[in-house]
């Protein structure tokens, strides 16, 4: 594979962004990324737009996004992988450079989630995420109760993880969100704040859950040759990408205390990069709910299965000064969760 590096990144302010259209939101991130790389639109050969797109007015969001940002000839190629959409866009841009198809590619992740409300998004033609026929229509599953509260209760039952330990994830992530001028929630919280927040589905309270967020991020990737020609001395080389999923049918999962997809993808990436979990110093992981971050510690191999709660979180092992600093951006919990907007490069 050709070596590929990230040479510019940008990001919009996250939050309820009814002040902008999806293309204006994306441009906030694209403009920053271009400036960061010292490039203009003409340098970009293809624009990959990650957008789950289920709650925006635009039927084909890559089209207005590319048009407005000045890439109307350089796409459209929209990528969607549900909550991994941003990472998927980066993976496609990476492969298009690694293959030699282009030398410089742009990956945009953008989501407007406050245009079409949840009820409408789900009700239209009976649409649901997961699998419409079996999960949404027959069983009425939605994310908090059917997925993450289930995982949380299983983790508590099997390993003794407590509600206080779940809360500590939010406390840590808010500490950093409070210092991030682009975060949706720029304030700190205490364990007590989390425990007292409105119940959603036991054991999850409001502060155990991420929010509905509008936001965008962008990354420019380039080949080693292009980076040399541009005289860029400090690219962030992409050493490895792992890509995996698991059954979407919740009833068929092997267990309810881990996400197999994370384990497979992490092993792929570790193997390609030639490193072990203990070598990782900083990680941004999927903390859509507090329990998700605890499972990620385990599934990524930072701590053994079942120990992601307990002393690991209590001692701050996932904070600066611990074994691995996780979600220093504020994470999905503190910074906001625009589905396709940010996974890999928030």
- The interface mask with a copy of itself, positions 208-247, x = CB under 8 A, is ---------------------------------x-xxxxx
Contact residues for 78 (Cβ-Cβ < 8 A; gap 6+) = 48, 49, 50, 51, 53, 60, 61, 62
Task: Identify which range of 30-38, 50-58, 170-178, 326-334 contacts a copy of itself by CB under 8 A.
Answer: 50-58
Q: 83, 155, 209, 286: which is the annotated catalytic residue? A: 83
The total number of residues shown for the chain amounts to 346
Q: Pick from 36, 115, 164, 224 the residue near a copy of itself by CB under 8 A.
A: 115
What's the closest the beta carbon of residue 119 comes to a copy of itself, in angstroms?
Answer: 11
Question: Given candidates 5, 128, 330, 336, which one binds a copy of itself under the rule CB under 8 A?
Answer: 128
Among candidates 201, 209, 191, 190, which has minimal Cα distance to 153? 201
Separation CA 306–CA 174 (nearest Å): 24
Rounded distance, CA 243 to CA 217, Å?
A: 20
Cα→Cα distances 276→17, 158, 279, Å: 40, 27, 5
Determine if 43 is a binding residue for a copy of itself (CB under 8 A).
no
Q: Catalytic site residue 337? A: yes
Residue written as token pair 């990528």: 79
CB 62 within 8 A of CB 77: yes
Q: Is 264 in the site for a copy of itself (CB under 8 A)?
A: yes
H/E run at residue 313: helix 310-314
- Residue 309 interacting with a copy of itself (CB under 8 A): no
In the residue annotation, 209 being an active-site residue is answered as no
Show the binding pattern over residues 71-110: x = contacts a copy of itself (CB under 8 A), - = does not: -xxxxxxxxxxx-----x--xx-xxx-xxxx---------
Closest approach of a copy of itself to the CB of residue 129, in Å:
5
200 backbone dihedrals φ, ψ, rounded to 5°: -110, -70
Phi-psi region of 315 (alpha: psi -120 to 50; beta: other; left: phi over 0): alpha
Distance CA 326, CA 322 (A): 10
User: To the nearest whole angstrom, how small is the minimum distance from the Cβ of residue 150 to a copy of itself?
Assistant: 18
Q: Kindly list the catalytic residues.
A: 83, 337
Binding site for a copy of itself (CB under 8 A): 1-2, 21, 46, 52-60, 62-64, 66-67, 72-82, 88, 91-92, 94-96, 98-101, 115-116, 120-122, 124-133, 241, 243-249, 260-261, 264
């Amino acid at each position: 594979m050709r070596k590929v590096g990230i040479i510019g990144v940008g990001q919009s302010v996250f939050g309820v962004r009814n002040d902008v259209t999806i293309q204006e939101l994306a441009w906030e991130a694209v403009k920053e990324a271009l400036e960061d790389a010292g490039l203009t639109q003409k340098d970009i050969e293809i624009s990959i737009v990650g957008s789950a797109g289920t709650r925006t007015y635009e039927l084909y969001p890559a089209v207005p996004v590319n048009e407005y940002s000045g890439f109307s000839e350089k796409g459209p190629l929209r990528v969607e992988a549900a909550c991994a959409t941003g990472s998927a866009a980066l993976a496609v841009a990476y492969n298009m450079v690694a293959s030699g198809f282009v030398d410089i590619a742009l990956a945009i992740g953008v989501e407007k989630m406050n245009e079409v409300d949840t009820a409408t998004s789900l009700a239209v033609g009976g649409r649901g995420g997961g699998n419409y026929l079996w999960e949404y229509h027959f069983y009425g599953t939605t994310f908090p109760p059917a997925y993450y509260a289930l995982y949380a209760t299983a983790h508590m039952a099997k390993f003794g993880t407590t509600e206080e330990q779940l809360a500590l994830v939010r406390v840590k992530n808010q500490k950093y969100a409070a210092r991030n001028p682009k975060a949706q929630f720029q304030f700190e919280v205490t364990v007590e704040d989390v425990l007292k927040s409105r119940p959603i589905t036991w054991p999850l309270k409001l502060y155990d859950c991420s929010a509905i967020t509008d936001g965008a991020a962008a990354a420019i990737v380039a080949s080693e040759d292009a980076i040399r020609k541009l005289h860029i001395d400090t690219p962030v080389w992409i050493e490895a990408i792992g890509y995996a999923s698991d059954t979407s049918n919740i009833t068929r999962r092997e267990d309810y205390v881990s996400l197999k997809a994370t384990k497979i993808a992490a092993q792929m990436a570790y193997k390609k990069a030639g490193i072990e979990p203990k070598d990782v110093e900083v990680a941004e992981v999927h903390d859509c709910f507090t329990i998700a971050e605890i499972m990620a510690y385990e599934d990524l191999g930072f701590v053994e299965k079942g120990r992601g709660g307990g002393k690991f979180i209590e001692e701050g092992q996932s904070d600066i000064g611990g074994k691995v600093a996780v979600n220093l951006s504020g994470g999905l919990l503190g910074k906001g969760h625009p589905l396709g907007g940010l996974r890999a490069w928030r």
